[in-house]
Amino acid sequence: MLALRAMSADDEPVLSLLRSGNAREAAAALIRAEGPAVLRYLRAVLRDEDLANDAFSLFAEWSWSAIESYRGESTVRTWSFGIAVNAARRVRDEAWHKHKERLKTGDASRLAEEVRTSSPRELERQADRLAELRQELSAEDQNLLVLRLDQRLTWDEVAAILAEAGQSASPAGLRKRFERLKERIARLARTRGLLRR
């Protein structure tokens, strides 16, 4: 195992458990610490409670099984959101819907259920008309909005999360894409009378 060092003070509980060889407890600590934010993210990007729950279960299972491969090249939070982005992508996949693959009940699934049921429900979603605008965006654009606005991540964090999920993007490129996206949303909102011209 590599000598893991914390990139953030929030990483230390998970890394300490990993250093001591306790991967199960490290995974549990990660899911408990990052799970509520990941669940909010999944609910925001998937906008369907069942899909969000399926994606969250995948996040928990994948985190549980992959924790020993964590190398400390990014913060624990960034690594977690990379897994969450891939879980969201997986549940959107047509094959997932056709086969309705069910996860085996195990420690990670039970822990995912614990976090899901103990997390307070997200405050009322945005106004219906604004949510409709968001639904018209591509999955990638919705993902960018949620990571940047809803999760309040920095551009460096968003770029690192997307890199963890297998997508390459620079912070500067993401900022430009975000600016174009804001202009597009503003145009749509104006044409629908949500904004003054």
Considering the domain boundaries, does residue 68 fall inside one? yes
Number of domains in the chain: 1
User: Mean pLDDT over residues 25-53, rounded?
Assistant: 92
Query: Based on the number of CB atoms within 10 Å of its own CB, is 177 exposed (0-12), middle (13-18) or buried (19 or more)?
Result: middle
User: Using CA atoms, how far apart are residues 102 and 97, in angstroms rounded to an integer?
Assistant: 11
Give the pLDDT confidence score for residue 186 in this predicted structure: 82
Considering the domain boundaries, does residue 83 fall inside one? yes
Each residue of 121-159: pLDDT tens digit?
Answer: 433 434 456 677 777 888 888 888 889 888 888 999 999
Considering the domain boundaries, does residue 116 fall inside one? yes
Considering the domain boundaries, does residue 106 fall inside one? yes
Pairwise pLDDT comparison (63 vs 106), residue with the higher score: 63
Token reading at 19: 């250093």
Residue type, 151: Q
Considering the domain boundaries, does residue 2 fall inside one? no
Q: Per-residue confidence at 39, pLDDT binned at 50, 70, 90?
A: very high
Considering the domain boundaries, does residue 197 fall inside one? no
Each residue of 73-126: pLDDT tens digit?
Answer: 889 999 999 999 999 999 988 545 555 544 454 666 676 766 666 654 433 434
Sequence-ordered list of residues with C-beta below 8 angstroms from that of 27, at least 6 positions apart, any chain: 63, 64, 67, 108
The dihedral built from the CA positions of residue 136, 47, 103 and 99, taken in this order, carries a sign that is negative
Considering the domain boundaries, does residue 5 fall inside one? no
Question: 138 to each of 64, 71, 82, 85, 129, how far by Cα in Å?
Answer: 30, 32, 18, 14, 17
User: Using CA atoms, how far apart are residues 97 and 90, in angstroms rounded to an integer?
Assistant: 10
Considering the domain boundaries, does residue 53 fall inside one? yes
User: Using CA atoms, how far apart are residues 156 and 170, in angstroms rounded to an integer?
Assistant: 8
Triad 59, 1, 71: Cα angle to 5° = 45
This prediction's pTM: 0.66
Domain that holds residue 139: 10-191
